[in-house]
C-alpha cells in the first residue's frame, strides 16, 4: 500500500482513506525582546552599537567570512556599483545572512538564512523595520540609512535585544543595487555571533592600545624558572618594539630583553617590584620613556609594553566621571 506523509507528520495510505483536515497553523513567534530585556522595547530606544567604516573595517573585522564578503564587495566596486547577484557568485556559501529591501523610509526583510534564524531564534522574513520596535532594530535601521546614503559598507558590533544571553554579534552591512546603476536599494548583512569568550578576548588582545607579549616559563633542572618561551605578541607590542610584519621575533623573553638593550638601545632608568613581577622603566634614543612590566599570571608570563607617560585625551574627563575620579 502506498503511503503519503503530510506536512504535519501524519501518514496515510492511498487505499481510499481521506486525510483529516490540516492542523491549524501556528502563528509566528512574536518578535520582541525577552522579559530580561524589556527595557529595550519601544520605537525611541537605541542600542549601544559600535561601527567602523573605510580603512578601519580591515583593522577591526574579526570573522574571516565577513572579511571575505567585504573584499568581494570592494572587488566589484572597483568597476561599478556592486549588485545583489555579485554577492552570490562566491563558491563558498556564507552561513548567516540577512537581506533587506529599502521601501521608502522602511526596510523589508526579504531573505534570512536558516543558520541565522537558528542562532537568533527568530524568523524575520517578511517583517518591516517599523514593526520591530526594539533597541537594536532601531539602531540598525539608522545604520542601514547611512550605509545606503553613502554607498559604503559599515562593520558593526552589538548585543542583540532579542537574546537574554548577552550574545555579542558582529555584522558586515553591504549596500547593493539591483542592476549596477543608480542608488543602492538592498542591504545585505553578513552575521557572526561572538558569543565565545575566546573570540571576545582575542579582539581585546589584538586591538589593545597596550603592547602584550604572552610566554610560558622554561624550568631548569632544579624546577626554577630559567627563561620563558614567547607564545604570542599582539600588534601594539610589535609596533612599540619595532618589529616589521615580515620580520621574525625573539623566541624567548631573554632574547627579547637583549633585543631591547642591544638592538633598540633602550636604557633602563629604574625598576620597581609588583605583586607577581617587575616593572622596568626604559628610555629610548629619542628620550621617550617606555614601561615594560613582566608578571607571572596563572603559570603564564605576561609582558606589557606601553609609553610611560600617556597624555590625557579628550575622553579623559568622561571616563574619569564614569569611574568616580572627577
Within a domain: 155: yes
Same domain, 239 and 175: no
Residue 149's pLDDT is 96
pLDDT tens digits, one per residue of 237-291: 999 999 876 677 788 888 999 999 999 999 999 988 877 788 999 999 999 999 9
Q: Mean per-residue pLDDT for 141-156?
A: 96
> Which of 152, 176, 196 is the C-terminal boundary of a domain?
196
Residues 39 and 171 in one domain: yes
Is a pLDDT exceeding 50 seen at residue 213?
yes
- Rounded CA gap, 230 and 250, in Å? 8
pLDDT at 38: 63
| CA atoms lying within 13 Å on the CB side of residue 150 | 13
CA distance 253 to 214: 9
Grid cell at residue 298: 596563572
Q: How many domains does the chain have?
A: 2
Which of the pair, 216 or 293, is modelled with greater confidence? 293
Q: What is the mean pLDDT of residues 221-247?
A: 79
Residue 112 to residue 67: CA distance in whole angstroms: 20
pLDDT at 41 exceeding the cut of 50: yes
Whether residues 50 and 131 fall in one domain? yes
In this predicted structure, the answer to whether residue 194 has a pLDDT above a threshold of 90 is no
Same domain, 189 and 213: no
Same domain membership, residue 47 and residue 174: yes
pLDDT value, residue 39: 63
Tell me the pLDDT of the chain averaged across its residues: 80
- pLDDT for 162 beyond 70: yes
The pLDDT score that the predictor gives to residue 250 is 85
State the burial class of residue 214 (Cβ atoms within 10 Å of its Cβ: 0-12, 13-18, 19+): middle
Residue range(s) defining the domain that contains residue 158: 35-196
Percentage above 90 pLDDT, the chain: 41
Average pLDDT over every residue of 204-225:
76
Q: Are 146 and 162 in contact, with CB atoms under 8 Å apart?
A: no
**3-state SS, residue 142:** helix
Quick one: 296 and 189 in the same domain? no
pLDDT tens-digit profile of 76-123?
999 999 999 999 887 777 889 999 999 999 999 999 999 999 888 889
- Whether residue 203 is contained in a domain is answered as no
Is residue 320 one of the residues assigned to a domain? no
pLDDT of residue 122: 87
CA angle, residues 170, 176, 182, in degrees to nearest 5: 150
Arithmetic mean of pLDDT, 322-326: 45
- pLDDT-derived band of residue 171, with 50, 70 and 90 as boundaries? very high
Spatial CB neighbours of 295, under 8 Å, sequence gap ≥ 6: 274, 276, 277, 301, 302, 303, 304
CA dist 298 and 316 (Å) reads 32
Tell me the chain's radius of gyration from C-alpha atoms.
Answer: 27
- Top-confidence residue, 11 or 290: 290
Identify whether residues 181 and 49 lie together within a single domain.
Answer: yes
Q: Average of pLDDT values for 155-164?
A: 80
DSSP state, residue 131: G
Cell 525582546 belongs to residue: 33
Q: Average pLDDT of 13-18?
A: 42
Whole-number pLDDT of residue 43: 79
Amino acid at each position: 500500500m502506498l503511503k503519503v506523509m503530510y506536512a504535519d507528520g501524519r501518514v496515510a495510505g492511498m487505499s481510499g482513506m481521506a486525510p483529516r483536515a490540516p492542523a491549524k497553523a501556528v502563528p509566528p513567534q512574536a518578535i520582541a525582546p525577552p522579559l530580561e530585556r524589556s527595557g529595550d522595547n519601544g520605537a525611541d530606544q537605541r542600542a549601544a552599537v559600535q561601527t567602523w567604516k573605510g580603512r578601519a573595517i580591515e583593522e577591526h573585522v574579526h570573522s574571516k567570512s565577513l572579511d571575505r564578503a567585504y573584499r568581494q564587495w570592494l572587488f566589484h566596486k572597483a568597476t561599478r556599483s556592486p549588485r545583489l547577484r555579485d554577492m552570490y557568485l562566491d563558491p563558498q556559501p556564507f552561513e548567516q545572512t540577512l537581506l533587506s529591501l529599502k521601501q521608502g523610509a522602511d526596510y523589508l526583510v526579504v531573505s534570512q538564512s536558516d543558520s541565522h534564524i537558528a542562532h537568533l531564534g527568530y524568523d524575520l522574513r517578511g517583517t518591516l523595520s517599523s514593526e520591530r520596535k526594539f533597541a537594536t532594530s532601531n539602531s540598525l535601521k539608522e545604520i542601514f540609512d547611512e550605509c545606503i546614503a553613502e554607498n559604503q559598507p559599515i562593520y558593526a558590533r552589538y548585543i542583540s535585544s532579542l537574546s537574554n544571553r548577552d550574545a555579542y554579534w558582529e555584522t558586515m552591512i553591504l549596500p547593493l543595487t539591483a542592476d549596477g546603476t543608480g542608488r543602492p536599494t538592498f542591504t545585505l548583512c553578513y552575521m557572526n555571533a561572538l558569543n565565545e569568550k575566546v573570540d571576545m578576548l582575542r579582539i581585546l588582545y589584538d586591538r589593545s592600545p597596550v603592547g602584550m607579549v604572552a610566554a610560558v616559563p622554561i624550568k631548569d633542572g632544579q624546577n626554577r624558572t630559567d627563561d620563558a618561551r614567547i607564545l604570542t605578541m599582539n600588534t601594539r607590542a610589535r609596533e612599540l618594539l619595532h618589529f616589521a610584519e615580515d620580520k621574525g621575533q625573539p623566541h624567548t623573553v631573554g632574547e627579547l630583553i637583549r633585543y631591547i638593550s642591544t638592538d633598540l638601545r633602550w636604557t633602563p632608568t629604574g625598576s620597581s617590584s609588583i605583586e607577581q613581577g617587575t616593572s622596568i622603566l626604559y628610555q629610548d634614543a629619542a628620550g621617550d620613556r617606555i614601561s615594560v612590566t613582566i608578571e607571572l599570571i596563572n603559570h603564564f608570563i605576561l609582558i606589557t609594553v606601553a609609553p610611560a607617560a600617556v597624555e590625557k585625551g579628550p575622553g579623559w574627563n568622561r571616563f574619569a566621571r564614569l569611574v568616580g575620579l572627577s
